[in-house]
Amino acid sequence: MVPNWAKNILFLLIYMISGLVLVVIIEGLLSGSDLTPLNTVVEKFVVHMRTPLLTTFLVWVTTLWNPFILSCLAVLMASLLAMRGYIYDAILFLIGLLVTVVSLTILKNVFQITRPISDVYIAGGWSFPSGHATVATAFFFLLGHTFFGKVHTTAKRISLIIGSIVATVIVSFSRLYLGAHWTLDILAGVALGLLCVSFTVLMFNIFFGSKRSLRRFIDM
């Protein structure tokens, strides 16, 4: 098992790096720096990748793994964890996703950036940051964190990590490919998801990690 201090250092690094990335992106948007042309460059590149088959697949991905469905799956996952006696993990899962959704909603309404014009997919709402990328990152990060200690072989742990990363990448890329978001929306969404989950895990580790009796009381 990985010691708690090592976990805290890892999540602190994730928190700091993702926070820095998010700050840089926001500062770039506010100041109109050289980050903004990245949107146009990537958009032109992605347009040339489009094929009917890939478009159909990614429309299916973006529809099936939207923030609402992932949020419902998070509630279901937390319920299943609670039924198995993992109350601590269930609360962490729900709080982590709740912090993510609240932060996402605040940023969307503060910046109110319009979406790019797409001829293959129509999406509503504000563009920055990407809701799909944010919630998918948070959901699969929480999923990996929750079950990492519950699988007992290295191969299964590696599969869990790789599967979580691949799922996040596919969902995020689907939004970029379909023209529903700018590149900076996706990058900011991934950073925000990592930031919110790492912050939640750190807070839980700080307040409950060193108090094993309190944590056992929660799981009773």
Residues 144 and 160 sit within 8 Å (Cβ to Cβ) = yes
Q: Encoding tokens for residue 78?
A: 């937390």
Least confident of 26-40, 107-121, 184-198: 26-40
Mean pLDDT for the chain?
Answer: 88
Residue 147 lies inside a defined structural domain of this protein: yes
Would you tell me how many other CB atoms lie within 10 Å of the CB of residue 25?
22
Residue 90 lies inside a defined structural domain of this protein: yes
Q: What is the pLDDT of residues 120-133, one digit of tens each?
A: 888 888 889 999 99
pLDDT for 214 beyond 50? no
Angle at 38 between CA 34 and CA 43, to 5 degrees: 155
Residues 46 and 201 sit within 8 Å (Cβ to Cβ) = no
Tell me the CATH number at 125: 1.20.144
Number of independent structural domains in the chain: 1
Residue 177 lies inside a defined structural domain of this protein: yes
pLDDT band for position 46 (cuts 50, 70, 90): confident
Residue 149 lies inside a defined structural domain of this protein: yes
Residue 220 lies inside a defined structural domain of this protein: no
Residue 111 lies inside a defined structural domain of this protein: yes
Would you tell me how many other CB atoms lie within 10 Å of the CB of residue 173?
18
pLDDT band for position 144 (cuts 50, 70, 90): very high
Domain containing 187: what range?
A: 4-215
% helix / strand / coil in the chain, to the nearest 5? 75, 0, 25
Q: Encoding tokens for residue 216?
A: 């056992």
Q: Which amino acid is at 193?
A: G
- Cα distances from 130 to residues 2, 138, 153, 214, in angstroms, run 33, 12, 34, 37
Residue 142 lies inside a defined structural domain of this protein: yes
